[in-house]
């Protein structure tokens, strides 16, 4: 979520204890919040949950000298997420390795999990925390459930989870400044995933102001992601070339007002009442429409099906709507699936959209792994690489 090349619009994490959930009951936690490695047979491993994020608002507030855009955006974590398992590499391995199952990630050779492990190792060595041999090679497995290049921050979340898992495997810590620098070096949205569940993000993503959780039962979210991946950098470029909202002040006005409300504690009901404002509070919406033919018509059709305003997360193309309960969001997901079958929703992109019902996660209701059968879309086995 930031500038031109390599920009991103949010992340999710589990990099540290906050929001990250060890899927392994045997994984303990030390005082730093980093899980300790657990023994699986003879092998040590640690499991981290890497939640998706949603941008409740996204205002572009200016250009920066480094080519990135400055943003004002409220991020929340979701209960939908990837699962990352990290263990020590097999004897004889010559490099860190990664195997991915679930959704396909096109750039397997460049996976942020491997980049994060490598960068964490360098940071550990640079910090004098240990010699290289104290940060041994790792083997990672990623169960990918967050749609890729969809504005849900999956790659950033995986990177944050990988940092946390690697440090825990090596039993080392970095100080807050080193950790923040490491996260920011991997992507603009990665720092968010090292923070609590709800935050105001400014700068290109490096300024993270934690906000209180939404009070009461957290709102549920319907996610609909057309299968037309949008590169964040391309969307910012379209924005820079003039694809702006009709009212250029609106997103910032809504975002600033929401930040004020959230600082003093906002209820689920109050957030739900602002659905129409939130739908208009994304400065990248028109840029996404400009790049993805059919997306505007899809949004209009979706709004008719769900009978409520539909918002865009980050640079898109993921669309979302809020519901009071998960049951209501699940019902809406069923309606949307039927609308796809009935042709009430136009098919755009390369296939049927990813459709899921989930919830906003908070400190008191941390993200929990979601059953695979709740997630629609093409999720088949994929083996990858190192």
Q: Does 149 engage in binding with ligand ATP (CB under 6 A)?
A: yes
Nearest position to ligand ATP, beta carbon: 155
| Least CB distance to ligand ATP at residue 17 (A) | 21
**Cα–Cα dist 247/286, whole Å:** 11
Q: Biggest alpha carbon distance in the chain?
A: 61
Q: Does 119 engage in binding with ligand ATP (CB under 6 A)?
A: no
Q: Does 13 engage in binding with ligand ATP (CB under 6 A)?
A: no
Kind and range of the H or E element at 295?
helix 295-306
| Least CB distance to ligand ATP at residue 165 (A) | 13
In eight-state DSSP terms, residue 296 is H
| Least CB distance to ligand ATP at residue 145 (A) | 10
Q: Does 105 engage in binding with ligand ATP (CB under 6 A)?
A: yes
Q: Does 152 engage in binding with ligand ATP (CB under 6 A)?
A: yes
Q: Does 205 engage in binding with ligand ATP (CB under 6 A)?
A: no
Tokens 């209180």 map to which residue? 212
Nearer to ligand ATP by Cβ, of 334 and 385: the residue is: 385
Give the end-to-end CA distance of the chain in Å, rounded to a whole number: 27
CA–CA distance from 106 to each of 109, 186, 209, 299 (Å)?
9, 18, 32, 26
The string of DSSP codes covering 230-242 is: --HHHHHHHHHTT
Binding marks (x or -) toward ligand ATP, 209..248, rule CB under 6 A?
A: -----------------------x----------------
Burial 324-351 (b: 16+ CB within 10 A, else e): eebeebbebbebbbebbeeeebeebbee
Q: Does 113 engage in binding with ligand ATP (CB under 6 A)?
A: yes
Extended strands (E) in 308-350: 311-312, 319-323
Instruction: Rule CB under 6 A: choose which of 4, 27, 156, 282 binds ligand ATP.
Output: 156
Instruction: Count the site residues for ligand ATP by CB under 6 A.
Output: 26
| Least CB distance to ligand ATP at residue 125 (A) | 23
Q: Does 11 engage in binding with ligand ATP (CB under 6 A)?
A: yes
Is the distance from CB of 130 to CB of 173 less than 8 angstroms? Answer: no
Nearer to ligand ATP by Cβ, of 317 and 366: the residue is: 317
Return the active site residues: 53, 189
| Least CB distance to ligand ATP at residue 208 (A) | 14
Query: SS3 for 67-89, per residue?
Result: CCEEEEEEEEEEEEEEEEEEEEC
Nearer to ligand ATP by Cβ, of 315 and 359: the residue is: 315
Number of helical (H) and strand (E) elements in the chain, helices listed first: 10, 11
Nearer to ligand ATP by Cβ, of 66 and 247: the residue is: 66
Length of the chain: 386
Binding segment (CB under 6 A) for ligand ATP, from list 145-153, 168-176, 196-204, 332-340: 145-153
**Cα–Cα dist 20/13, whole Å:** 7
Q: Does 111 engage in binding with ligand ATP (CB under 6 A)?
A: yes
Q: Does 279 engage in binding with ligand ATP (CB under 6 A)?
A: no
* Binding stretches for ligand ATP (CB under 6 A): 1, 8-11, 105-107, 110-113, 148-156, 158, 189, 232, 314-315
């Amino acid at each position: 979520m930031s500038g031109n090349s390599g920009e991103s619009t949010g992340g999710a994490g589990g990099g540290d204890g906050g929001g990250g959930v060890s899927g392994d009951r045997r994984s303990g936690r030390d005082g730093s919040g980093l899980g300790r490695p657990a023994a699986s047979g003879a092998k040590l491993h640690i499991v981290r949950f890497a939640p998706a994020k949603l941008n409740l608002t996204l205002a572009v507030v200016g250009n920066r000298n480094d080519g990135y855009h400055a943003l004002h955006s409220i991020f929340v974590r979701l209960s939908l997420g990837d699962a990352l398992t990290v263990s020590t590499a097999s004897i004889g391995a010559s490099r860190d390795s990664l195997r991915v199952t679930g959704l396909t990630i096109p750039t397997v050779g460049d996976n942020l999990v491997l980049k994060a492990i490598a960068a964490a190792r360098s940071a550990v060595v640079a910090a004098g925390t240990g010699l290289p041999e104290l940060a041994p090679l790792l083997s990672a497995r990623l169960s990918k459930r967050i749609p890729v290049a969809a504005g849900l921050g999956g790659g950033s979340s995986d990177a944050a989870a990988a940092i946390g898992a690697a440090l825990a495997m090596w039993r080392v810590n970095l100080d807050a400044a080193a950790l923040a620098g490491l996260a920011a070096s991997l992507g603009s949205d990665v720092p968010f995933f090292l923070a609590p569940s709800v935050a105001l993000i400014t700068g290109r993503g490096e300024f993270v102001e934690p906000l209180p959780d939404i009070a009461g039962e957290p709102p549920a979210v319907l996610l609909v992601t057309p299968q037309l991946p949008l590169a964040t950098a391309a969307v910012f470029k379209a924005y820079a070339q003039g694809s702006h909202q009709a009212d250029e002040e609106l997103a910032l006005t809504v975002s600033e007002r929401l930040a004020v409300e959230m600082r003093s504690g906002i209820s689920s009901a109050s957030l739900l009442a602002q659905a129409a404002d939130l739908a208009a509070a994304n400065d990248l919406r028109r840029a996404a429409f400009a790049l993805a033919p059919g997306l505007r018509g899809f949004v209009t059709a979706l709004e008719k099906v769900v009978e409520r305003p539909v918002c865009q997360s980050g640079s898109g193309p993921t669309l979302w709507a809020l519901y009071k309960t998960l049951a209501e969001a699940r019902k809406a997901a069923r309606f949307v699936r039927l609308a796809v079958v009935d042709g009430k929703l136009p098919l755009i992109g390369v296939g049927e959209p990813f459709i899921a019902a989930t919830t906003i996660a908070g400190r008191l209701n941390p993200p929990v792994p979601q059953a695979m059968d709740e997630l629609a879309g093409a999720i088949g086995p994929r083996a990858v690489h190192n």
